[in-house]
Amino acid sequence: MRRTLLVIALAVAFAVPARAQTAAPDEQTIADAYTYLLARAFVVRQEHTDLKEAGVAYNTIKYNPLGSADFVNPNFDVAYLEAWFAIDDKTAAILEVPKIEGRYYTAQILDEWGEVIANINERTVPSRPYGKFALVGPGSNAAIPADAARLELHSAKAKMLARVELKTDKDGAVRLQRAFKLATIGKPTIAPAAPIKMFTNKELMGAELFEGAEPLMTSALDVMPRAAELQQKVRSVAKYIASGPDSRAKVDKLLREKVVPQFQEYALTRSAPYRNHWVGAGITGNFGGDFRLRTSVNFAGLWANNTDEVIYFVATRDSEEKPLDGSGSYVMHFTPDRLARIFRILTRARFRLSI
């Protein structure tokens, strides 16, 4: 009896505990986590793309030539400029906006998730529509010039898209475009863009998105009210994927066969009002807790401004509800009465319409 008990005790003492299995997240958790994280991936992809371009660097303005469409969200009726701001706790970026009168303009600043931080123009900040602005990080103690207005970013980086209306004076618009200036106070320590596997909108990532989830999330503060909840969902899915090849394959299959197609269909036909094969006139720029809408907007047109500045319409399908194809030709037809009505509406509008 004693011998038997001793054998049992030794067996228990030296037994190797079985590896605890990671519980599989349900489909909705996986879909929510994927859709949420994809918004950040679109921004990081663009950061990598921008900085590969010759002459592009952090804290340097890129003055786009008139008529060019080789950048995100081009408009042919404006002189366009863009920049990536990058600062740290001890430094600031100083943006100088020229005085502009009698024509539309805005300096739109967005965070690293695609949320609008500010628009600098006479409509949104009539008390200071031009001049020097000191862009600093959250809670920064950086010393800034007395003549600069403090503008606090959401994280260490931000993107600026600025536009100056051409009207009938292209040369004047270009002079104003070139009058935007950017400098830094101090020499900031700049973290490189978060690592990411490059992808296209046609071929979105699958399970590999979660393999770089932590750097994507922790490299930029998300001000969305639901961020903490959604980031925990991301971590639970990432942990399950990392638990073994079978788990990864299961999630990847779900993403590619169900989640991604459903997201693409939602983004192009249901993320905003859909009428006559156009999707648009929905909320953009600042999204509250609607993470699906934010990711849809980043997917369809990154760096969207808010609806106080612009209303977007996107053509996604033809008259037979087939997706638009770049190899085809399409004609927009308006009856005379509708065309006249559209013209009257647009000429009275105080916002910009982007098609």
Per the DSSP assignment, residues forming a β-bridge with 152 are 136
CATH number at residue 110: 2.60.40.1610
- Domains contained in the chain, number: 2
Phi-psi region of 288 (alpha: psi -120 to 50; beta: other; left: phi over 0): left
Rounded-to-integer distance, Cα 34 and Cα 241, Å: 12
Give the sign of the dihedral formed by CA 307, CA 47, CA 122, CA 64.
negative
What element of type H or E holds 233? Answer: helix 227-242
Choose one of 139, 159, 185: the last residue of a domain: 185
Show the domain range for 176: 59-185
Instruction: Give the pLDDT confidence score for residue 50 in this predicted structure.
Output: 97
Give burial (CB, 10 Å; 0-12/13-18/19+) of 36: buried
Residue 29 domain-assigned? no
Residue 197 domain-assigned? no
Choose one of 142, 167, 185: the last residue of a domain: 185
Determine contact, residues 33/237, Cβ cutoff 8 Å: yes
Residue 148 domain-assigned? yes
Are 71 and 174 within one domain?
yes
Instruction: Give the pLDDT confidence score for residue 68 in this predicted structure.
Output: 76
Per the DSSP assignment, residues forming a β-bridge with 81 are 63, 162
What element of type H or E holds 185? Answer: strand 181-185
Rounded-to-integer distance, Cα 126 and Cα 117, Å: 17
Query: Which amino acid belongs to residue 50?
Result: D
The pair of three-digit structure tokens given for residue 155, joined into one six-digit string: 């994280």
Q: What is the pLDDT of residues 197-209, one digit of tens each?
A: 999 999 999 999 9
Instruction: Give the pLDDT confidence score for residue 335 in this predicted structure.
Output: 79
Residue 263 domain-assigned? no
Residue 219 domain-assigned? no
Are 283 and 180 within one domain?
no
Instruction: Give the pLDDT confidence score for residue 10 in this predicted structure.
Output: 39
The pair of three-digit structure tokens given for residue 316, joined into one six-digit string: 């996604």
Residue 41 domain-assigned? no
Residue 151 domain-assigned? yes
Query: Which amino acid belongs to residue 122?
Result: E
Instruction: Give the pLDDT confidence score for residue 348 in this predicted structure.
Output: 55
Instruction: Give the pLDDT confidence score for residue 346 in this predicted structure.
Output: 62
DSSP per residue over 8-77, as a string?
Answer: HHHHHHHPPPPPPPPPPPPHHHHHHHHHHHHHHHHHHHHHHHHHHSTT--TT--EEPPTT---SSS--TT
DSSP SS3 for 314: strand
Q: Are strands 278-280 and 62-63 parallel, antiparallel or unpaired?
A: unpaired
Rounded-to-integer distance, Cα 136 and Cα 129, Å: 19
Instruction: Give the pLDDT confidence score for residue 83 in this predicted structure.
Output: 98
Rounded-to-integer distance, Cα 92 and Cα 94, Å: 6
- pLDDT < 70 positions in the chain: 1-21, 71-73, 281, 342-355
Instruction: Give the pLDDT confidence score for residue 311 in this predicted structure.
Output: 79
Instruction: Give the pLDDT confidence score for residue 22 in this predicted structure.
Output: 78
Determine contact, residues 295/263, Cβ cutoff 8 Å: yes
Q: Are strands 352-354 and 310-315 parallel, antiparallel or unpaired?
A: parallel
Choose one of 185, 217, 234: the last residue of a domain: 185
Instruction: Give the pLDDT confidence score for residue 315 in this predicted structure.
Output: 77
Q: What is the pLDDT of residues 17-58, one digit of tens each?
A: 444 567 899 999 999 999 999 999 999 999 999 999 999 999
Rounded-to-integer distance, Cα 58 and Cα 116, Å: 19
Residue 215 domain-assigned? no
Are 178 and 281 within one domain?
no
